[in-house]
């Protein structure tokens, strides 16, 4: 069975595992106050050209999202997000469980449009009973998005301008940030992300590590007391250095970028092959997730050899599916998939 279900189906890249096993017998201070986490923070500051940025490690994406958002909002504020956003649709109400509403806007290819954000905020304050509605307090986006799309440098800059004009912190969920920056047509750098956002994550779990999300808080004003809130929400790992070590292993010699480019390259090979077979797509994704629409009998036959997820019923005979490549996908896996499709279609 060849696995295209997701990018978190296997453990960790061997250099990450080696880095962990190399720590055997060494003692560290607990709770993220160790030299590896410190080194990781220094590295992030260099990589982002943000000498005051703070770095924290959390074990998963939902935890990162709820901790960052809870730390930034007052009780009556909500977080603006696309209706397809992970926090709106796939986190079992984690944000609401911290007391805050997710204020959804219609997505534009998975993304938030600055004009939509501006309109929502303007309408809020224009309403004479504005105090009877949730105050927009911050903005959440993800890159890549849930649909595999990416923000261009221009788009992110435009969104950031609206957010700063409205005094709304902008938070970017980068669970797949590496894949985004390796995507076809990407013109963003990590420094751009740090410049335009007030906080963001650098995803590790889906990008070659065993587990972990690196939370970067750029604005010093937003950094205050963040560790208390990590602890309160259950996210303060006793052995925080495990994430520092994994982060360092992934960033060393840009292994993170290499693995991301590897996955996206295979996704582009797959996309190209599918297009040659005239297969239509749910969306035109430039990243490691591809969403082709396939005949149901083809899907049934494929599933004997390949694992992947069904996403959306298109009509009685067709379904949109997801093929996800990753740091551990092999070129021969993609070729096998294309060969099988060529036989079946």
Provide the minimum distance between the beta carbon of 195 and a copy of itself in the complex, in angstroms, as a whole number.
Answer: 27
Task: Select from 149, 174, 178, 236 the one that contacts a copy of itself (CB under 8 A).
Answer: 236
Answer for the pair 112, 80: CB distance below 8 angstroms, yes or no: yes
Cα 136-141-146 angle, rounded to 5 deg: 130
Task: Select from 47, 54, 100, 190 the one that contacts a copy of itself (CB under 8 A).
Answer: 100
Answer for the pair 150, 178: CB distance below 8 angstroms, yes or no: no
Provide the minimum distance between the beta carbon of 185 and a copy of itself in the complex, in angstroms, as a whole number.
Answer: 27
Quote the tokens at residue 12: 């960790």
| Site string (274-303) toward a copy of itself, x via CB under 8 A | ------------------------------
**Alpha-carbon distances, residue 112 vs 41, 149, 299 (angstroms):** 29, 11, 32
Quick check: 176 binds a copy of itself (CB under 8 A)?
no
Provide the minimum distance between the beta carbon of 70 and a copy of itself in the complex, in angstroms, as a whole number.
Answer: 5
Provide the minimum distance between the beta carbon of 61 and a copy of itself in the complex, in angstroms, as a whole number.
Answer: 8
Using CB under 8 A as the binding rule, the residues of this chain from 127 to 146 that contact a copy of itself are 129, 131-135
Give the number of other CB atoms < 10 A from CB of residue 344. Answer: 15
Task: Select from 85, 193, 229, 324 the one that contacts a copy of itself (CB under 8 A).
Answer: 229
**Alpha-carbon distances, residue 224 vs 68, 182, 217, 289 (angstroms):** 12, 32, 10, 36
Chain centre to alpha carbon of residue 168: 20
Task: Select from 45, 96, 273, 318 the one that contacts a copy of itself (CB under 8 A).
Answer: 96
Answer for the pair 155, 187: CB distance below 8 angstroms, yes or no: no
Residue 253: burial class (beta carbons within 10 Å; 0-12, 13-18, 19+): exposed
Give the number of other CB atoms < 10 A from CB of residue 33. Answer: 12
Quick check: 325 binds a copy of itself (CB under 8 A)?
no
Helix (H) or strand (E) holding 124: helix 114-126
User: Which of the ranges 56-64, 149-157, 314-322, 336-344 carries the binding residues for a copy of itself, by CB under 8 A?
Assistant: 56-64
Quick check: 322 binds a copy of itself (CB under 8 A)?
no
DSSP 128-179: TTGGGSPEEEEEEEESS-TTS----HHHHHHHHHHHHHTT--EEEE-TTHHH
User: Which of the ranges 148-156, 189-197, 206-214, 263-271 carries the binding residues for a copy of itself, by CB under 8 A?
Assistant: 206-214
Provide the minimum distance between the beta carbon of 58 and a copy of itself in the complex, in angstroms, as a whole number.
Answer: 8
Task: Select from 44, 47, 66, 214 the one that contacts a copy of itself (CB under 8 A).
Answer: 66
Quick check: 305 binds a copy of itself (CB under 8 A)?
no
User: Which of the ranges 125-133, 148-156, 161-169, 269-277 carries the binding residues for a copy of itself, by CB under 8 A?
Assistant: 125-133
| Site string (19-38) toward a copy of itself, x via CB under 8 A | -xx-xxxxxxxxx-------
């Amino acid at each position: 069975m060849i696995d295209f279900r997701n990018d978190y189906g296997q453990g960790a890249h061997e250099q990450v595992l080696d880095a962990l096993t190399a720590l055997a017998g060494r003692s560290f201070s607990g709770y993220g106050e160790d030299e590896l986490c410190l080194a990781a923070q220094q590295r992030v500051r260099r990589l982002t050209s943000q000498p005051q940025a703070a770095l924290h490690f959390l074990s998963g994406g939902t935890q990162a999202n709820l901790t960052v958002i809870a730390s930034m909002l007052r009780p009556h504020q909500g977080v603006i997000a696309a209706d397809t956003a992970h926090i709106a649709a796939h986190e079992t109400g984690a944000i609401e469980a911290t007391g805050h509403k997710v204020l959804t806007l219609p997505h534009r290819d998975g993304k938030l449009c600055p004009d939509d954000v501006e309109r929502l905020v303007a309408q809020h304050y224009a309403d004479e009973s504005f105090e009877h509605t949730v105050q927009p307090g911050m903005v959440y986006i993800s890159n890549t998005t849930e649909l595999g799309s990416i923000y261009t440098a221009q788009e992110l800059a435009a969104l950031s301008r609206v957010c700063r004009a409205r005094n709304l912190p902008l938070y970017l969920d980068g669970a797949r940030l590496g894949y985004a920056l390796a995507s076809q047509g990407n013109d963003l750098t990590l420094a751009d992300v740090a410049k335009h956002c007030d906080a963001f994550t650098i995803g590790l779990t889906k990008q070659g590590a065993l587990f972990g999300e690196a939370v970067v808080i750029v604005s010093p004003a937003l950094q205050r007391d963040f560790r208390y809130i990590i602890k309160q929400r259950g996210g303060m790992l006793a052995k925080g250095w495990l994430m520092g070590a994994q982060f360092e292993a992934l960033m060393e010699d840009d292994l993170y970028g290499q693995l991301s480019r590897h996955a996206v390259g295979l996704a582009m090979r797959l996309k190209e092959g599918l297009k040659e077979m005239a297969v239509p797509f749910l969306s035109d994704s430039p990243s490691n997730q591809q969403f082709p629409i396939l005949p149901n009998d083809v899907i049934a036959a494929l599933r004997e050899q390949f694992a992947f997820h069904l996403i959306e019923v298109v009509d009685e005979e067709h379904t949109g599916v997801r093929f996800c490549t990753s740091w551990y996908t092999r070129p021969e896996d993609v070729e096998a998939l294309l060969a099988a499709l060529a036989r079946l279609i």
